[in-house]
Structure 1
Amino acid sequence: MRYISEIDQLSGYPSIDTDVLRTFVAIADQGGFTRAAERVNRTQSAVSMQMKRLEEDVLQRKLFERDGRQVRLTPEGQVLLGYARRILKLHSEVFNTLREPHMVGLVRIGTPDDYVMRYLPGILTRFSKAYPLIQIEMHCEASNVLMQRRDLALTVISRQPGDDVGELLRTERMVWAAAACFCVDEHDTLPLAVSGVECFGTQWSQAALDSVGLDYRLAYHSSNVAAIQAVVSAGLAVMVSLESLVTEDLRILGSEDGFPPLPSMNLRLLRNPAMASPITECLAQYILEGFRL
């Protein structure tokens, strides 16, 4: 305690113990001292004493407003809540990094590139903050190509309903999409932009258009999803996409536009047993959580 006091005197500010911050966050989340005390495994009187010292001795600011049995944060309390969450998160990351030395290394994952744009940024950001010493190597290819590879620890793929390989990440509707300026009636033959003649989306779109007798042509073909989206955004063609991947500059086409419904797509996670490790299992959990948000 003397060491902490000396540091406090040098800095000019008192310190706030992480246990106190954890209690403070619990009160904010639970809306009261009683439920917060249960959450942090302390008595209500101990929690009240912690907060009294925090308000009167440490910060000298009122943090709570009481409304009957409910507790609300003051503006100063709201400010502290933001800092408290960040401090506790960093505290957890320090322990994850330094107390788990096995969480160091390289993990290879495979995914179609359209999922990289929508889902992977958030997943990898959270993962890298928690485990900064792990290197991620990503391989972006079509699902049918990724399934043949044996050098990937984790693989995200698209599968049609009924194919139960791997673990289900999410089920999502396939939709038709085009630029706002695209007018279907101006085209005698509908131009399609596809990512591959063997992919499910292309096969399903052709079958659906054939079923309603709508003429079409494969006008643009690229394995690069960004290239397909650029063509469609320019108003040159229609594409089939997962609903969540339709960008704001595009509109979804439905039955009112003369387009038939499409099946849903299953997104699944494959684990390579030959590369199982604490690292791959941890990243797999982040991927499962990220796709289900």
Structure 2
Amino acid sequence: MATYPSIDSELLRTFVAIADQGGFTKAGEVVNRTQSAVSMQMKRLEDDVVQRPLFQKDGRVLNLTAEGQVLLGYARRILKLHSEVFNTLREPHMIGTVKIGTPDDYVMRFLPGILSRFAQAYPLIQVEVHCESSAQLLQRQDLDLSIVTREPGKEIGQILRQERFVWAEAAGFCPHEQTPIPLAMFNSDCFCRLWASNALDAAGREYRVAYTSASLSAIMAVVSAGLAVTAQLQSLITSDLRILGDAEGLPQLPSASIVLLRNPNNPSPITECLADHIAEGFKL
């Protein structure tokens, strides 16, 4: 049976840093080593371990060789498994299921990054995501954590973020110039729909709710097609839309709070760890 030299995880960590940062100097800052120490590590990796050149220079640019590209994929996987092993062994109680509720609004904007980082830290925890409106989530008793939108002065739980609602329409379209203005809004139990209606009434602008849905993606599809104006939290406005305001004769809208609710009947270390990741993710 063939025997192979072992690969020090620190060598792989430095190698990945070089690939990500594009050079030895910046990689050294990431792994907290001098440039000469990084060079020595890579010489050891090339000469003693893989016995293949991993880097090639093109002028001032440092590129990976074909062998380096192959090793990079393996290195990322090895380091990920290395992290999972230690997280599992050091925190064996972090195994189980956590249930989180959130409106559809925040699923694509915030959850991918939050759940990705959480999965890397605690790979054996199963996360159940339930998508419902804030009003529905407030009635649920079986969820460990709930992310809901609240009106000013009605915040409960931990405030994750505060931001204003804004008007938006597709770039290159002008549905706000129509009379009445066609709106695409959430269903009638959403207080932001009431805010939008009250603001337009106060400003004397005629409008009609032309499209309704419980799904943000459905609303955004309608708006992106140039069929209607919507009112949403500013962080949810995508790059293909433009924000409207005074110049278009539309009134300002209030701000709202995004809050995190914990189930007091089911506290656990798993819940608190996910809550910490959620709070950090909503800062980004």
Same fold (TM over 0.5): yes
Deviation string for 1:204-252 (max 9, x for gaps)? 2123212321112233333232332333334332211122322344332
Q: Secondary structure at the match of 1:274?
A: coil
What is aligned with 1:57?
48
1:91-110 matches, cutoff 5 A: 91-110=82-101
Correspondence 1:275 to 2:263: no
CA distance in 2, matches of 1:33, 1:149: 48
What is aligned with 1:259?
250
Correspondence 1:157 to 2:151: no
Deviation string for 1:246-275 (max 9, x for gaps)? 234433222222212222332121112221
Work out the percentage of aligned pairs sharing the same amino acid. 58
CA distance in 2, matches of 1:239, 1:45: 56
| Number of residue equivalences | 274
- Residue 130 of structure 1, CA deviation: 4.1
**With structure 2 as the length reference, what TM-score do the two structures score?**
0.78
Correspondence 1:183 to 2:175: yes
- Residue 98 of structure 1, CA deviation: 4.8
CA distance in 2, matches of 1:44, 1:195: 55
1:40-55 matches, cutoff 5 A: 50-55=41-46
CA distance in 1, matches of 2:39, 2:229: 62
Match of 1:31 among 18, 22, 25: 25
CA distance in 1, matches of 2:273, 2:6: 33
Contact 1:176 1:239 in 2 (8 A): yes
**With structure 1 as the length reference, what TM-score do the two structures score?**
0.76
1:55-94 matches, cutoff 5 A: 55-60=46-51, 61=53, 74-76=62-64, 84-94=75-85
CA distance in 2, matches of 1:225, 1:84: 39
What is aligned with 1:209?
200
Deviation string for 1:108-161 (max 9, x for gaps)? 111111211322233223333443432222222221221232211001011234
- Residue 192 of structure 1, CA deviation: 1.9
CA distance in 1, matches of 2:80, 2:146: 28
CA distance in 1, matches of 2:54, 2:197: 65
- Residue 18 of structure 1, CA deviation: 1.0
Q: Secondary structure at the match of 1:235?
A: coil
- State the AA in 2 paired with 1:240: A
The change in CA–CA distance for 1:24 and 1:222 in structure 2 (over 3 A counts) is: closer
Contact 1:208 1:260 in 2 (8 A): yes
**Any gaps of 5 or more consecutive residues in structure 1?**
1-5, 66-71
- Residue 47 of structure 1, CA deviation: 7.1
- State the AA in 1 paired with 2:166: V
Deviation string for 1:188-215 (max 9, x for gaps)? 2122222133423212212321232111
What is aligned with 1:200?
191
CA distance in 1, matches of 2:56, 2:90: 35
Deviation string for 1:82-109 (max 9, x for gaps)? 7645532331023223543322222111
What is aligned with 1:3?
none
What is aligned with 2:218?
227
What is aligned with 2:102?
111
Q: Secondary structure at the match of 1:158?
A: strand
What is aligned with 1:137?
128
Deviation string for 1:34-86 (max 9, x for gaps)? 8678x47xx99987764543344334547699xxxxxx994249856776455
Contact 2:14 2:27 in 1 (8 A): no
CA distance in 2, matches of 1:137, 1:204: 32
**Any gaps of 5 or more consecutive residues in structure 2?**
none
What is aligned with 2:237?
246
Deviation string for 1:153-179 (max 9, x for gaps)? 001011234444222222333211223
CA distance in 2, matches of 1:49, 1:230: 54
What is the aligned-residue RMSD (CA, Å)?
3.5
Contact 1:192 1:217 in 2 (8 A): yes
- Residue 279 of structure 1, CA deviation: 1.4
Contact 1:178 1:250 in 2 (8 A): yes
- State the AA in 2 paired with 1:260: P
Contact 1:209 1:260 in 2 (8 A): yes
- Residue 278 of structure 1, CA deviation: 1.8
